[in-house]
């Protein structure tokens, strides 16, 4: 898999800090599972966290080491390294949410040639995460973004003014960017999309008017 579009470095830092809204963290995790080069970058960024962590003034700890709790707890055998074998075409971080096969996702049709599947998040007010499937050659309406949006291609590809996005590629867009993605003429496209969600009245109206917001 040749990945040519990577997340914004600012996103990489936020991710290594553990400060990203969950939807974006999910997209990043999938990208990391496919992109050794960003995993490497992440490990460099983690040194920033470690360094700042190291420089914190230690707080006084009142309770002793939890030796009893620890003894009661067997070492986690699951924690032993077990190579993950690929069963389907869904990247590891998403398997728990959608299973192993993209074709078995319970897709909901939201328009001609467009299907989606919402992935539940712990706090829906902080963002949205969804899978979107677009039929071959299908164009989506030109759209800007209300907030940040991060899209990762899982299958097929799409093209917009900024280039071609293939499996593993990430489009890390801010709200200023307007684009009109067109799915691949033969394979169409399946994407994982995170959008920043703040419930605003305006966006509710937009949602009623057009079921496919975020695009």
Partner 1 sequence: MIPHMITARPGGRGSNGPGPISMAEFLQRIAERGDVEAFRKLFQAYAPRVKAYMMRQGANPDTAEELAQETLLTVWRKAGLYSGEKGSATTWIFTIARNLRIDRLRRELSWVELPDGHDEEPSPDALPDELLSEQERKIRVQAALATLPPDQFEVVSLSYIEGLSHSEIAERLQLPLGTVKSRMRLAYHKVRESVEDLK
Site for partner 1 in 114-143 (CB under 8 A): 121-123, 126
Out of 3, 5, 7, 26, which residue is the one contacting partner 1 (CB under 8 A)? 26
- For partner 1, give the closer residue by CB, 78 or 112: 78
Out of 1, 62, 86, 209, which residue is the one contacting partner 1 (CB under 8 A)? 62
- For partner 1, give the closer residue by CB, 51 or 209: 51
* CA pair distance 36, 39, nearest whole angstrom: 5
Give least dist CB 152 to partner 1, A.
Answer: 12
Which residue, 129, 161, 140, 123, is CA-closest to 215?
140
Q: Is 43 in the site for partner 1 (CB under 8 A)?
A: yes
Out of 3, 5, 7, 14, which residue is the one contacting partner 1 (CB under 8 A)? 14
| 3-class secondary-structure state, position 207 | helix
Give least dist CB 105 to partner 1, A.
Answer: 18
Which residue, 49, 11, 5, is CA-closest to 162?
5
Q: Please, are residues 27 and 20 in contact by the beta-carbon 8 Å criterion? A: no
Give least dist CB 56 to partner 1, A.
Answer: 4
Q: Which residues are CB-neighbours of 18 under 8 A, at least 6 positions away?
A: 49
């Amino acid at each position: 898999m040749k990945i040519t579009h990577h997340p914004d470095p600012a996103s990489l830092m936020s991710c290594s800090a553990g400060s990203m809204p969950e939807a974006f963290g999910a997209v990043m995790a999938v990208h990391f599972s496919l992109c050794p080069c960003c995993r490497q970058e992440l490990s460099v960024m983690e040194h920033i966290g470690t360094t700042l962590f190291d420089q914190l003034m230690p707080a006084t700890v009142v309770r002793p080491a939890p030796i009893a709790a620890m003894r009661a707890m067997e070492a986690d055998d699951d924690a032993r390294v077990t190579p993950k074998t690929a069963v389907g075409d869904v990247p590891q971080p998403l398997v728990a949410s959608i299973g192993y096969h993209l074709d078995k996702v319970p897709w909901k049709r939201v328009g001609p040639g467009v299907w989606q599947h919402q992935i539940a998040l712990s706090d829906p007010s902080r963002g949205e995460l969804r899978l979107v499937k677009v039929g071959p050659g299908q164009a989506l309406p030109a759209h800007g973004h209300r907030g940040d949006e991060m899209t990762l291609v899982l299958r097929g590809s799409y093209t917009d003014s900024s280039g071609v996005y293939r499996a593993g590629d990430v489009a890390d867009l801010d709200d200023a960017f307007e684009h009109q993605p067109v799915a691949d003429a033969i394979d169409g496209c399946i994407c994982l999309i995170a959008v920043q969600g703040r419930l605003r009245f305006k966006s509710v109206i937009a949602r009623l008017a057009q079921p496919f917001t975020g695009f």
